[in-house]
């Protein structure tokens, strides 16, 4: 988590204690990079944190798009995981 925060997002002033576990989410797929008939399971451990302001985030080359969202608006939007 800290590597992603620092290396991929450019956030330098964060610590593990700043993040809170949201849960454990499983994602199952019928196919994988190994073949269309080989299933895949991804286990995600999403975390969240709070910022006092919109932090300056600088991405590495893995990301092409970013947007801040108001959490109160997301709870009613079906595009976002509950």
Q: What is the pLDDT of residues 28-53, one digit of tens each?
A: 999 998 999 999 999 999 888 887 76
Higher-pLDDT residue of 22 and 75 is 22
**Sign of dihedral through CA atoms 77, 2, 26, 34?**
positive
C-alpha 16/C-alpha 29 separation (Å) is 31
The full set of domain ranges for the chain reads: 2-73
pLDDT on residue 12: 77
Provide the whole-model pTM.
0.55
SS3 33: coil
Decide if pLDDT at 24 tops 90: yes
C-alpha 35/C-alpha 64 separation (Å) is 27
pLDDT on residue 81: 66
């Amino acid at each position: 988590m800290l590597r992603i925060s620092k290396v991929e997002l450019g956030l330098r002033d964060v610590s593990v204690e700043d993040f809170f576990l949201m849960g454990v989410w499983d994602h199952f797929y019928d196919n994988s990079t190994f073949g269309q008939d080989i299933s895949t399971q991804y286990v995600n451990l999403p975390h969240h944190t709070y910022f006092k302001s919109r932090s300056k985030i600088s991405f590495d080359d893995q990301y092409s798009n970013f947007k801040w969202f108001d959490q109160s608006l997301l709870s009613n939007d079906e595009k976002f995981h509950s």
